[in-house]
Amino acid sequence: MMQRRNWYSLNLAESALMWELEPELVGRKSEYRSATGYLCKGDSLLDMNFVTNEWGKKVSSNMDASGVLLDNSTKVYRGTIDFKEGAKGCKRL
């Protein structure tokens, strides 16, 4: 069974924020797209860890993150696409 998942978010951080996201793509030709925006200021820390687990055949994934760091703010972004056993013919969008 094909799945389509879209994730859109906007983060406004003024202190420490840790954020994790881990979608599972199982069906043939499943798709996942995420678009994340952020605005951090002061001494804030934004820590993002996004992992996409791809189990299906011909699965497509795209993860985008962009934003603005003001003052002494910092961010960490980890975006991982994990190809599991049986994930054949996968591609990035």
CA distance 67 to 3: 28
Determine the pLDDT at residue 57: 84
The segments of the chain whose pLDDT lies below 70 read: 1-3, 7, 13, 90-93
With 0-12 / 13-18 / 19 or more C-beta atoms within 10 angstroms meaning exposed / middle / buried, residue 62 is middle
Determine the pLDDT at residue 59: 86
Q: Which two tokens stand for residue 21?
A: 């996201």
Determine the pLDDT at residue 13: 67
- Name the residue among 79, 91, 11 with its Cα closest to residue 46: 11
Phi first, then psi, for residue 22 (nearest 5°) are -145, 80
pTM: 0.74
